[in-house]
Amino acid sequence: MGENESFLKFLFDAIFVAFSGGRRYKAWLTALLIIIIFGLISYSYQFREGLIITGMRDQVSWGLYISNFTFFVGVAASAVMIVIPLYIYNFKLFKPIITFGEYLAVGALLIVIANVLADIGRVDRLHHMLPILGTPNFPQSLLMWDMVVLTGYLLLNLLIPSYSLFKTYHNTKPKRWIKAFIYLSIPWAISIHTVTAFIYGGLVARPFWNTALMAPRFLSSAFASGPAFLIIALLIIRKNNEILREEISDRAINILAQIVAIGGVVSLFFLGTEVYTIGYSQSAHWINLKYLMFGLEHNGVYYGRLVPFFWASFILTLVATILLINPGTRKNYRILPVACFLIFTGLWIEKGLGLVIPGFIPSPVGEIHEYMPTLMEVMISAAGWAFGFFVYTLLVRVSIAIETGEIGSYGGMSRLDYLRSLKERRSSE
Amino acid sequence: MKETRRDLIKKAAGAVGMASVIPVSKPVISLTLEEFLQKHFKEMTEEDKREVIERLEREYKEKYGIDANIKTTPPIKGVVWGYALNIQKCIGCRRCVYACVRENNQSRGSPDDPSIPAIQWIRVVRVEKEKIHPESETGRDFRTKFGEVHAGVNIEITDSYYDPDKVPEKDYYYIPIQCQQCERPPCVKACPTKATWKEPDGIIVVDYNWCIGCRFCMAACPYWARHFNWAEPYIPKEEINTNMHYLGNRLRMKGVVEKCTFCIQRTREGKYPACVEICPVGARKFGNLLDPESEIRKILEEKRVFRLKEEAGTNPKFFYFMD
Ligand code: SF4
Ligand code: SF4
């Protein structure tokens, strides 16, 4: 068995198939590539001139980059919502979608990394964070923790699905040791979003973030946004692939949609408790939230750039949650992707701009300075998105090709037998 | 599909056009190997320090044509610096701000791009004296019966851009805020690379050659004391203060964080910080907290002293007082 499993052949086949596809597939990749290129051009200006080309300043010292970073950590973490039902509760219907979920974590983490890199003032000194080469402030600094857990999670989510595909490709059984990594990935997923929440939650300087509810809120919204994205991806995959149309069952999608709905409900509930606790007591935390929800007035000037975003986010999340709770709309495949898109957008605002920016306004010494990202900043951040989407697309393409027998070493079988065995593989453990 | 792509290209082209307005004469990368291999300040031997300083002095000479003298004067034993500021006296003239900018070589912004802000380590904020008005309504049916009583200050929302020509104004306090040299500094805890730390004399410093510019410390500072070089700093050559300290006022580069160091280059040599010297009303007091005879200790014992945001648990060594 083992001796014939060539890794190189697997890799070459995978790379080859990743870049082959229909016209629309190639157009999609090209579009992403163009976005990436424009982002890189913009970044070269940022690299030369400094972060001055962004809308950030001392008053609002983190902006769009860190917003996207925060949100996509959540999307990455949510892969666990497929892993838990499948591996803990043995919910077999998730078997055909597991690789798409795990690779989603990879794509999301690439967006995370791209946006963090874009935000760093001195990328030439990143090695200062590493042991031996640098002086990592571990365990004191939460950024160090985040780097450790994010790197680990990226490796886990590259390894687990790739290993599974590798075995499928050679039509051999996965070894038992991979289970250890799969189980490890569950607490690890929770940890990445918890640590990311702690980056904010541990800052006494920023009352808006300094709340114990930060990590629970992060997790609840993540468990809605990630699966919402995955549903859209699965619907697209189903539409374009005959074999997977049967495999990715309505029931699996329905369960995912219910997970999104629950995530939405819990998120809204947490938002409500936060608004009540802070708003009713009118404590020091209130001023930032007030800025976010209603805007502030000072010396006759109104500052409320985030207000429409907050309410849009709230309404989008609320409407989507209702659509997803109601079985009639949830099971309607025309409405479902729309609802998923709405909640994804709503939570992107909430966990991105709506979380990061109001923490800075007003500043700790009482200055109200509003933030607006520049076009170049948007393009750099978008390139990060495009990069993640690009890689995710390729990974999904390879997974489909292997799962459906488009490529594979067939383990010495005829194609027909092989396809049959693939099918059995998916329905058994 | 086609449309959106075309849109995108249009937008992108716009951005590139915008960018080309920015002068592009600077070298894309000016990183030398020595700079890349430089160690953390605290891990340098005396020999390493000498080499780094020679290199920096050479660089400053090439770039600005100045003869800088960069010192690494160590802390004085038995000294922990403390600061006290009399907010009753402060008239909000902001002279300390400008003295600080000059002494500590802060960026003046940019001569040809007004969007590039100047850096100022001291920020003087104006706050209205909170009053208890006879007619003020708190809640539904409570009316106070007092006269015009001043009842403290609140820095939740302040004015940073009041007109310094009009000061002092009745009904306002001016609160200069700079790094409070916290005994338990959240900025130090936050820094992923230990690029910022507390020296034995209590001053929080930054190794500008070690900072990666992540700005986590800025988010962590409750006093908005840390400032970032969003662009390459600009200082007219003749205004550069050549008396420098490695951990203090030496010239910075783009992409790193900087902050007040109680004028480490002066105070470690027995001089007062520049802001103390310039203050026209003598509102600023500075001294050794460990010396029971020092002026600062007298103030702490005899005056009405408070610290900003005590609830943050940062234990500042910067005190505010009233007579
Ligand atoms: S005032 Fe800010 S920068 Fe200064 S020591 Fe405290 S936390 Fe750090
Ligand atoms: S910006 Fe520099 S000093 Fe501040 S936390 Fe990051 S590396 Fe440390």
Angstrom distances, CA of residue A40 to CA of A46, A236, B16, B30, B208:
10, 29, 11, 20, 27
User: What pLDDT is stored for residue B30 in this prediction?
Assistant: 60
Q: Are residues B279 and B145 in the same domain?
A: no
CA angle A266, A272, A278 (to 5 degrees): 135
Q: Both B110 and B219 in a single domain? A: yes
Q: Which residue has 């050479």 as its token pair?
A: B58
Tally of domains in chain A: 1
C-beta B217 within 6 A of ligand 2: yes
Does residue B173 fall inside a structural domain?
no
List CB contacts of B216: < 8 A, sequence separation 6 or more: A141, A142, A143, A199, B190, B191, B192
Q: Are both B141 and B288 inside the same structural domain?
A: no
CA geometry: angle at A279 spanning B313 and A259, to 5°? 100
Q: Are residues B256 and B144 in the same domain?
A: no
Give the gap in angstroms from C-alpha B135 to the nearest C-alpha of chain A: 21
- CA dihedral over A198, A200, A203, A208, signed as positive or negative: negative
Using CB atoms, pick whichever of B192, B212, B228 lies closest to residue A61: B228
Q: Which of A31-45, A233-247, A408-422, B255-269 has the lowest mean pLDDT?
A: A408-422
Task: Using 70 as the pLDDT threshold, list the residues of chain B that sit under it.
Answer: 1-31, 131-151
Do B295 and B272 belong to one domain?
yes
Which pairing describes strands B69-71 and B243-245: parallel, antiparallel, or unpaired? parallel
Q: Strands B142-143, B149-150: parallel, antiparallel or unpaired by DSSP?
A: unpaired
Determine the residue of B198, B205, B215 to mutate for testing ligand 2's pocket, defined as the one with the most ligand atoms within 8 A of the Cβ atom: B215
pLDDT recorded at residue B140: 44
Q: Which two tokens stand for residue A221?
A: 């919204």
Restricting to B residues 107-146, those with a Cβ less than 8 Å away from any Cβ of A are 115-117, 119, 123, 125, 127
ipTM attached to this prediction:
0.93
Give the separation between CA A74 and CA A218, rounded to whole angstroms. Answer: 7
Q: Tell me the angle at which helices A214-240 and A375-403 cross, rounded to the nearest 10 degrees.
A: 60
Q: Choosing among B224, B258, B314, which should be mutated to test the A contact, i.e. which has the most A CBs within 10 A?
A: B224
- B196 neighbors A143 (Cβ within 8 angstroms): no
Beta bridge partners, B143, equal: B137
**Does B79 contact ligand 2 (Cβ within 6 A)?**
no
Distance CA A100, CA A336 (A): 19
* Per-residue pLDDT at B2: 40
Residue B131 has a pLDDT of 67
Nearest ligand 1 atom, CA B316? 6
Q: Which ligand is nearest to the CA of B83?
A: 1
Check CB contact under 8 Å for A42 and B15. yes
Q: Please indicate, yes or no, if residue A14 is contained in any of the structural domains.
A: no
Q: What is the dihedral of CA A182, A186, A187, A193, to 10 degrees?
A: 130
Of B204, B212, B201, B150, nearest in space to B181 by CA: B204
- Ligand 1 probe mutation, B121, B178, B181, most atoms within 8 A of CB: B181
Give the pLDDT of residue B9: 41
Domain that holds residue A369: 22-428
Length, in residues, of chain B: 323
More confident residue, A423 or A352: A352
Closest CA to A97 of A251, A223, A263: A251
Task: Tell the residue nearest (CA) to atom 4 of ligand 1.
Answer: B179
Is residue A1 over pLDDT 80?
Answer: no
Which of B18, B31, B213 lies at the smallest CB-CB distance from A121? B213
CB contact under 8 A, B160 and A62: no
Distance B14 CA to ligand 2 centre (A): 33
DSSP H or E segment with residue B76? none
Interatomic CA distance for residues B213 and B194, integer angstroms: 12
Query: Can you give the pLDDT at residue B24?
Result: 39
By residue range, what is the domain housing residue B211?
Answer: 75-122+178-323
Q: Which two tokens stand for residue A132?
A: 């031996």
A13-30 average pLDDT score: 95
CB spacing of B216 vs A359 below 8 angstroms:
no
**A50/B232 Cβ within 8 A:** yes
Residues B145 and B81 in one domain: no
CA distance B87 to B125: 11
- Scanning B283-312 for CB atoms below 8 A from A yields 309, 312
| Predicted local distance difference test score (pLDDT) of residue B20 | 40
Q: Which of A121, A205, A376 minimises the CB distance to B15?
A: A376
Write out pLDDT tens, residues A202-240.
999 999 999 999 999 999 999 999 999 999 999 999 999
Give the integer Cα–Cα distance in Å for A21 and A9: 20
Q: Is residue B172 domain-resident?
A: no
Residues A106-151: pLDDT tens digits? 999 999 999 999 999 999 999 999 999 999 999 999 999 999 999 9
The closest of A59, A60, A208, A56 to B123, measured between CA atoms, is A59
- Chain A residues touching B312 at Cβ < 8 A: 204-205
User: Do B267 and B301 sit in the same domain of this protein?
Assistant: yes
Same-domain check for residues B147 and B247: no
The shortest C-alpha distance from A203 to chain B (Å) reads 5
Q: Is residue A7 part of a domain?
A: no
Residue range A351-399, pLDDT digits in tens:
999 999 999 999 999 999 999 999 999 999 999 999 999 999 999 999 9
What residues does B243 pair with on adjacent strands? Answer: B69
HSE-CB at A193 with a 13 A cutoff on CA atoms is 31
Residues B162 and B287 in one domain: no
Q: Distance (Å) from the C-alpha of residue A392 to the closest C-alpha of chain B?
A: 20
3-class secondary structure, A59: coil
Locate B162 and state its tokens.
């009041």
pLDDT in tens, A149-164: 999 999 999 999 999 9
Verify that B254 and B277 share a domain, yes or no.
yes
Which residues of chain A are within 8 Å of residue B19 when distances are taken between CB atoms? 42, 45, 53, 376
Q: What is the predicted pLDDT for the residue at A422?
A: 80
CB of B187 shorter than 6 A to ligand 1: yes
* Chain-centre distance for alpha carbon A2: 35
pLDDT at residue B135, as a whole number: 55
Decide whether any atom of ligand 2 lies within 6 Å of the B162 Cβ.
Answer: no
- pLDDT given at position B13: 42
Predicted local confidence at residue A246, as pLDDT: 85
Q: Do B12 and A38 touch (CB under 8 A)?
A: yes
Residues B199 and B251 in one domain: yes
Q: Which two tokens stand for residue B110?
A: 């940019």
For chains A and B, CB pairs below 8 A equal 195
Q: Report the percentage of chain A scoring pLDDT > 70.
A: 98
* Beta carbons of B312 and A122 less than 8 Å apart: no
Alpha-carbon distance A63 to A358, whole Å?
Answer: 10
Phi, psi dihedrals of residue A192, rounded to the nearest 5°:
-65, -40
Answer whether B209 contacts ligand 2 (Cβ < 6 A): no
Distance A124 CA to ligand 2 centre (A): 14
Chain B nearest-CA distance from A344, in A, is 21
Assess if residue A10 is contained within a domain. Answer: no
Q: Decide if A273 is inside a domain.
A: yes
| Whether B214 and B308 share a structural domain | yes
Task: Name the closest ligand to CA B226.
Answer: 1
Give the domain CATH number at A53: 1.20.1630.10
Q: What is the pLDDT, as a whole number, of residue A414?
A: 78
pLDDT for residue B199 = 98
How buried is A160 (Cβ within 10 angstroms: 0-12 exposed, 13-18 middle, 19+ buried)? buried
Contacts of A389 (CB under 8 A, 6+ apart): A32, A107
* Average pLDDT of chain A, as a whole number: 94
Could you tell me the distance, in angstroms and rounded to a whole number, from the CA of residue B192 to the centre of ligand 2? 7
Closest B-chain CA to A363:
B224
Q: Collect all residues of chain B within an 8 Å Cβ-Cβ radius of residue A205.
A: 186, 219-223, 312
Query: CB–CB of A293/A310 below 8 Å?
Result: yes
How far apart, in whole angstroms, are the C-alpha atoms of residue A341 and residue B156?
Answer: 38
Number of domains in chain B: 3
**A129 with B117: Cβ contact below 8 A:** no
